[in-house]
Amino acid sequence: MVRFSITMDDDLTRRVDQECVVRQVSRSDWINEACTRQLRKLSGYGIYPCGNSSPVIDDSPAPHRHNMQNYDETYRNFRIEVPEYFNFGFDVVDAWAKKDRNKIAMVWTNQEGEEKFFTFRDISRRSNEIVNMMIKYKIGKGDRVLIMLHRVPEWWFMVVALIKIGAVYIPAPTMLTPKDLAYRINTSEAKMVITDMENAHKVDEIAGICPTLETKMVVDGALDGWLSYPRELTYPAPVSSRIINLKGMRKTKATDPMVIFFSSGTTGEPKMVLHSQAYPLGHIVTARFWHDVRNNDLHFTVSDTGWAKSAWGKLFGQWIEGAAIFVYDYRNKFNATELLPLIEKYGITTFCAPPTIYRMLIMADLRKYDFSELRHCVSAGELINPEVIKAWKDATGLEIYEGYGQTETVLCVGTFPCMEPKYGSMGKPSPGWVIELHDEDGKPVKPGEEGSIAIKTDPRPVGFFMEYWGNEEANANAFRNGFYYTGDRAVKDNDGYFWFVGRDDDVIKASGYRIGPFEVESAIIEHQAVQEAAVVGSPDIIRGFVVKAFVVLKTGFEPSDKLAREIQEYVKVTTAPYKYPRKIEFVKELPKTISGKIKRKDLREMEMKRFEEEQKNGRGDHS
């Protein structure tokens, strides 16, 4: 061994020491690893397209300890350096592809048992082919593209391509109706839609009232008036996997827009949540510290491609860390216990699912399955019962670590592996995020007091959204005096743990979905028999909450089970099916304020009291 003496400036020394604290290694070990990585680059194994930016990916040997060893030290010292220019497609996907052409990025299977494996090189080449198609059809930087696909590999190819070219992708769940799509396309001024043969008819039905929509593509066939992805790959000649460099093409800055998510609310249609090209970097916290992924892991997040959760666990943070993602494409009737043999067969190492899934999984005989490779489990989206966590731990030996975030954020509060879990608590603020609880005057509340969750925006956390695009009223309501108000309420205990209380704006979290009462109420009221309706979340043992509607009928209509079913079926075809009310109660009138606003809080409290009474008497409603 040779001993060197080196000189570094103060700022570089500080940053190295911060990394050493976070990774729990000595300064000399860190420098040794850095030199090893640099020599690999000089040998031709690592190329970083953004030139001046620091390398994002890290292929050093995965440690056997947790990525976060000490919460307080990590929170105090960890920082994400955001370069001026950043592009997830080039700086992560392509960088991994050039470093290790055989490194697995995705393991895909479906309910029929088909399997597909993709390396980062595969993703890089497929996305480059699509970039060339986009250039051909004049889709470029800043153009909005709505993508509505099932959990098929083409979703990942398309998203990475759109990021590379600087377009703004807009994920949409396949359950959306033509009416839902028209709203999203027109509000976002989308120029292109990418979908499949199954859903193309929805777009055709409303294309005539969408003036900005110029280009349509299906990924799995051919239709008149649509581009065919399979055909474009081969006609008139095989498309190149090298990106065509045309004059005027520009690199993306980290501050350029990258994705728009539609988020539900209670007082109007869904809002557009705009994130920048730096958004993937924010998910380093989600994946490295909360999911605890390493570069040889296979991570499985149960979520749809149409929601922001896909960004949390099926794309950004995992690939930055070098982990592979597991994708299970289910279309037919889904039974959560289908996941158990998959976890065993493929050796899933880290797992994220909403509480609804865990509640269903513990009903199976978990002793029949081998969970020896599964080492870390997390849950978010809604509160998870302590009984479920205990049952899961008894069967697998693993805790379920809870977390909190929004479409507007990455993981901003979490229970991390180095922390002692408090069942029912969201955890503590993520590194890089300053979270406070405020009263109605914007003043911090004392421990034990309920307050509005407020995120400090100066400095702006990495992974925090840019704005509600095109909605100044929403921006003005959310951003006040240097803080962003999430609309959620919580309590902080004396140990610094946050405990979720509820929503300010009545959004319902049911089976992992966020459902705005306004959308459901609007659909119900369209039914010919309905005079008024109010929608709230009703407690449910399995799903956490289900959508319940309190309905006032018009004169001449009488309550009946048949009418309730008619209303449910009407809502299913009027808006996305997952939004329909599983429970309907006919009432003479709705509780209202003096100004005529519906008091949903009263209805929620009434439902909670009923639920508690049923549990006390041993009668649970499993609808």
Render pLDDT for 396-446 as a digit per residue (tens, 0 to 9): 999 999 999 999 999 999 999 999 999 889 999 999 999 999 998 999 999
To which residue do tokens 């925090």 refer?
A: 464
pLDDT greater at residue 374 or residue 242? 374
| 3-state SS assignment for residue 365 | coil
Token readout for 506 is 């009545």
| Res 60: pLDDT | 63
Residue 23 has pLDDT above 60, yes or no: no
pLDDT confidence bin for 382, thresholds 50/70/90: confident
| Res 473: pLDDT | 92
Residue 42 has pLDDT above 70, yes or no: no
Q: What are phi and psi of 310, to 5 degrees?
A: -65, -35
| Res 532: pLDDT | 87
What is the percentage of the chain residues whose pLDDT exceeds 90?
A: 66
pLDDT confidence bin for 51, thresholds 50/70/90: very low
Closest CA to 260 of 389, 328, 363, 163: 163
pLDDT tens column, 362-377: 889 998 999 999 999 9
Token readout for 264 is 């539900």
CB 78 within 8 A of CB 15: no
pLDDT tens column, 475-497: 999 999 999 999 888 899 999 99
Residue 49 has pLDDT above 50, yes or no: no
Please tell me the distance from the alpha carbon of residue 520 to that of residue 547, in angstroms, as a whole number. 9
Residue 292 has pLDDT above 80, yes or no: yes
Strand partners for 107: 117, 326
pLDDT greater at residue 604 or residue 14? 604
Residue 63 has pLDDT above 80, yes or no: no
| Res 429: pLDDT | 98
pLDDT tens column, 67-96: 999 999 999 999 999 999 999 999 999 999
Residue 278 has pLDDT above 50, yes or no: yes
| Res 22: pLDDT | 53
pLDDT tens column, 518-573: 778 878 988 999 988 999 999 988 888 899 999 999 889 999 999 999 999 999 99
Long-range contacts at 13-19 (CB < 8 A, ≥ 24 apart): 15/79, 15/81, 17/77, 18/77, 18/78, 18/79
To which residue do tokens 């610094």 refer?
A: 496
| Res 16: pLDDT | 73
pLDDT confidence bin for 450, thresholds 50/70/90: confident
Residue 31 has pLDDT above 90, yes or no: no
DSSP per residue, 333-363: S--GGGHHHHHHHHT--EEE--HHHHHHHTT
Residue 34 has pLDDT above 80, yes or no: no
CB 280 within 8 A of CB 410: no
pLDDT greater at residue 139 or residue 600? 139
Complete domains list, the chain, with CATH = 508-616 (3.30.300.30)
Residue 505 has pLDDT above 80, yes or no: no
Average pLDDT of the chain to the nearest whole number: 88
Number of neighbours of residue 310 by Cβ within 10 angstroms: 23
CB 173 within 8 A of CB 576: yes
| Res 62: pLDDT | 54
* DSSP symbol at 148: -
pLDDT confidence bin for 236, thresholds 50/70/90: confident
Residue 39 has pLDDT above 60, yes or no: no
Q: What are phi and psi of 474, to 5 degrees?
A: -65, -40
Token readout for 355 is 């509480």
| Res 265: pLDDT | 52
| 3-state SS assignment for residue 544 | strand
Kindly state the average pLDDT of the residues 450-471: 95
DSSP per residue, 23-82: HT--HHHHHHHHHHHHHHHHTTS---TTTTSPP----SPPPSS-S-S-HHHHHHH--PPP
